[in-house]
Chains A and B, each alone.
Chain A
Amino acid sequence: MAKLLDIVVRSLGRIALAAIVIVILAPVVVVLLISFSDQVRFAFPPGGFGWRQYQELFRDPVWMESIGLSLSLALPATFLAVAVALPVSLIAQRSKLPGRNLLQGTAVASIIIPTTALAVGLFTLYSRLGLTSTNLGLIVAQAVLALPIVLIGITTGLSKISRTPEFAAMTMGASLTRALLEITGRALLPAIVASAIMGFLHAFDEVVIVNFVGGPGQVTLPKAILDSVQNQTDPVITAAASLLMIGSALLMAVAAIVGRIASRRRRG
């Protein structure tokens, strides 16, 4: 009886897993498939295949502008997030500053603030500061959203780095600053790069705050896709979406490889 139950549970588990895999991969497959269709309007199954969607995407200046705007916001936002997160992580682990853990904890915990609530709050703030519809406002907001992601990555990376090489450098005549920069900083570099990539993807992908505080001219790529989705289902979106997906996947792979190289060195 128990044996039979066991077999039933295990079979159900396998069926459930198969169903989950299909449901999770279906959207990816559909987007990629339709991006290679040749029709003007969305239809399934597609009539024929070709590069039409990609050609349309690269021909349309609106799409190109939105990609450019997204990059020009997300790159400085990532830079800002890393510049702000790195000291927080270092100070939390390399100083006795009172409140250092509270600061790091607050920055990490900001990840659970409902984005909608933060967007309304920033809308209120930006209305008063005159920051609505400005690139600066969006850059700062994206940096705020990327901050916990970057901070978690850097903090985890730093906590895996042994302090003794740093101490060794100090006994050999290096100041604390030099030891931190040359030895620990160098060892942390892969974690910084990987965290920056994850933070960049997060900032690039952000659409809620753009939707609330962005001006009519500030149509980032995700915002462009969101607008198109709400208006009609233009299959050109699938080309943009596919490129976004492949780009993210590649960047994540880079982040993972960088992280693996670092941990292999550490083990040695």
Chain B
Amino acid sequence: MTDILRVRRREWTPDIRKRYALVAVLPAIALLAVFVIYPLVLLVIESSQDGFEVYGRVLSSGSGQKAIATTFTASLVATGIVVLVSSIIGWTIRTTRRRWVRALCWVCVLAPFWMGAVVKNYAIVLLISNKGVVNAGLRALGLDPVQMLYSTPAVVLGISYSLIPFGVLTINAVFQTIDLNLLRNAEVLGSTRSGSIFRVMVPLAGPGFIASGAIVFALSVGFYVTPVVLGGAKSPFLATLIQANILQYFDLPAAAALSVILLVVALLVMIVTIGLVGVGSVRRAMTRS
């Protein structure tokens, strides 16, 4: 039995070796650390140089309070609109038997994507400005024009418009997981169509909806172009206030403090949502889009 040759045992696994793996992800770690995490840390440092004096100043000022209140209210309303509209579109895509209706719905999802952030808002300006399409229509009907541009509802409209594609994609992913036979069964058992939607759908789709809504809210508080273009440079939004602090008053600590508030709120919403519906639903909502 001396003919048996022994090869020194080394653990071979079908995995990339750890040291190569580490080298391969170093650029990503560096990019995230230097250009994402460090800038956010800088915001905290910049805003807390004199203790929390800057936060006190920002939070006690009338413009600061108004900006915070308006931003979060507008984001909340926009989130509600996005979830509602996305549900209607997503549900139609899932259930309609007419191909052209489904195609039209998909065009509606993709059209805002095609336009890009600035063009979207510009297009809305063309629609709702004083000389815009809507007011031209009102004039043609002999009615008085309405001031719509540079208002909070205009910003809500812009945010909703921008986030509907995202909403439809995530909510559609939730709907795809729902067995339509459940609804048919409920109908066979004597429930009406709309009744069965509420009784069967809502419990099944709940976590997906909450995750989707939370992400929509977190994204909408960070909107910059929409408040600036549709709300106007002096509109009471955090984005415009931050811009004014940097570009007009050169008050970087105040801008940093306001940014930290934005960041903290967005993170808190996500953390609470993960606690509520689990990290799985949130991950699905983030990646299915």
A binds B: yes
Within 8 Å by CB of B252, from A27, A124, A140, lies A124
Q: B57 → chain A, closest Cβ, in Å?
A: 17
Chain B min CB distance to A72 (Å): 18
Interchain CB contact (< 8 A) of B256 among A105, A124, A147 = A124
In the complex formed, the residue of A with least CB distance to B89 is A20
B27 at interface by CB-CB < 8 Å:
yes
Q: Which residues of B contact A100 (CB under 8 A)?
A: 21, 25
Interface members, chain B 201-236 (any A CB < 8 Å): 215, 218-219, 221-225, 228-229, 233
Whether A113 pairs with B263 at a CB distance below 8 angstroms is: yes
Q: Nearest CB to that of B23 among chain A residues?
A: A87
Q: If A114-B221, A167-B14, A244-B119 touch, does A84 touch B31 (CB 8 Å cutoff)?
A: yes
Residue in A closest to B24 when the chains form the complex, CB atoms: A87
CB distance from A9 to the nearest CB of B (A): 4
**B195 interfacial contact with A, CB 8 Å:** yes
A31 touches B126 (CB 8 A): yes
**B247, chain A: closest CB distance, angstroms:** 8
**Those of A188-218 within 8 Å (CB) of chain B:** 201, 204-208, 211-212
Q: Of B2-10, B58-66, B108-116, B178-186, which binds chain A? A: B108-116
| Among B13, B105, B229, contact of A226 (Cβ-Cβ < 8 Å) | B229
Q: Which of B120-166 contact A (CB under 8 A)?
A: 120-127, 129, 131-133, 136, 161, 164
B28 close to A88 (CB less than 8 A) = yes
Among the listed A144, A226, A246, which residue makes an inter-chain contact with B31, where contact means beta carbons less than 8 Å apart? A144
> B195 and A6: CB pair below 8 A?
yes
B77 contacts partner chain A, Cβ-Cβ < 8 Å:
no
Q: What is the CA–CA distance of A128 and B261 in the complex, to the nearest angstrom?
A: 23
- Residues of chain B lying within 8 A (CB to CB) of residue A30: 123, 126-127, 133
Given known A116-B224, A121-B259, contact A94–B15 (CB-CB < 8 A): yes
Q: Is B239 an interface residue (CB 8 A)?
A: yes
How far is the CB of B125 from the nearest CB of chain A, in Å?
6
Is there contact, CB below 8 Å, between A121 and B43?
Answer: yes
Q: Specify which chain A residues have a CB less than 8 angstroms from the CB of B136 in the assembled complex.
A: 44-45
Residue from B34, B104, B114, B219 with most neighbouring chain A CB atoms (10 Å): B114
Listed residue (A43, A105, A124) with the most chain B CB atoms within 10 angstroms of its CB = A124
CB of B277 within 8 A of chain A?
A: no
B118 touches A176 (CB 8 A): no
Is the pair B39, A124 in contact by a Cβ cutoff of 8 Å? yes
Interface size on A, residues (CB 8 A): 96
List the B side residues contacting A115 at CB < 8 Å. Answer: 222-224
Query: Is the CB–CB distance between A25 and B111 below 8 Å?
Result: yes
Interchain nearest-CB distance for A173 vs B (Å):
14
| Given A20-B88, A117-B222, A121-B43: A27 in contact with B35 (beta carbons within 8 A) | no
Cβ distance B113 to chain A, nearest Cβ, rounded Å: 7
Quick check: B88 and A25 within 8 Å, CB to CB?
no
The distance in angstroms between the C-alpha atoms of A23 and B134, with both chains bound, is 11
Q: Which A residues between 120 and 169 are near B, CB-CB below 8 angstroms?
A: 120-125, 128, 140-141, 143-144, 147, 152, 155-156, 163, 166-167
Pairwise interchain contact B24-A16, C-beta atoms closer than 8 A: no
The CA-CA distance from A119 to B245 in the complex, in Å, is 13
| A220-256 interface with B by 8 A CB criterion | 222, 225-226, 229-230, 233, 237-238, 241, 244-246, 248-249, 252
A201, B16: Cα distance in complex, Å? 32
Report which of A6, A43, A176 forms a contact with B192, defined as CB distance below 8 A: A6
Tell me whether B262 and A16 are in contact (CB under 8 A): no
Whether A24 contacts B113 in the complex (CB less than 8 A), given A13-B88, A167-B14, comes out as: no
From A16, A26, A225, A249, B122 is in contact (CB under 8 Å) with A225
| A contact residues around B244 at 8 Å (CB) | none
A109 interface hit (Cβ, 8 Å): yes
Q: Tell me which residues across on chain A come within 8 A of B129, comparing CB atoms.
A: 233
Checking B14, B42, B219 against A124 with a beta-carbon cut-off of 8 angstroms, the contacting residue is B42
Instruction: Say yes or no: is B69 at the interface (Cβ < 8 Å to chain A).
Output: no
Name the distance in Å between B189's Cβ and chain A's nearest Cβ: 13
Contacts A26-B127, A114-B218, A237-B122 known; 14 new A-B pairs at CB < 8 A: A10-B194, A31-B119, A84-B28, A88-B25, A94-B16, A103-B29, A109-B286, A112-B267, A114-B262, A115-B224, A117-B43, A119-B224, A124-B46, A245-B115
Nearest 4 CB-CB pairs, A to B? A114-B222, A121-B39, A27-B123, A87-B24
Q: 23 A-B residue contacts at CB 8 Å?
A: A9-B193, A17-B88, A30-B123, A30-B126, A31-B123, A31-B126, A44-B132, A44-B133, A87-B24, A87-B28, A100-B25, A109-B270, A113-B40, A113-B222, A116-B224, A121-B43, A123-B252, A124-B43, A125-B34, A152-B289, A222-B119, A238-B126, A249-B110
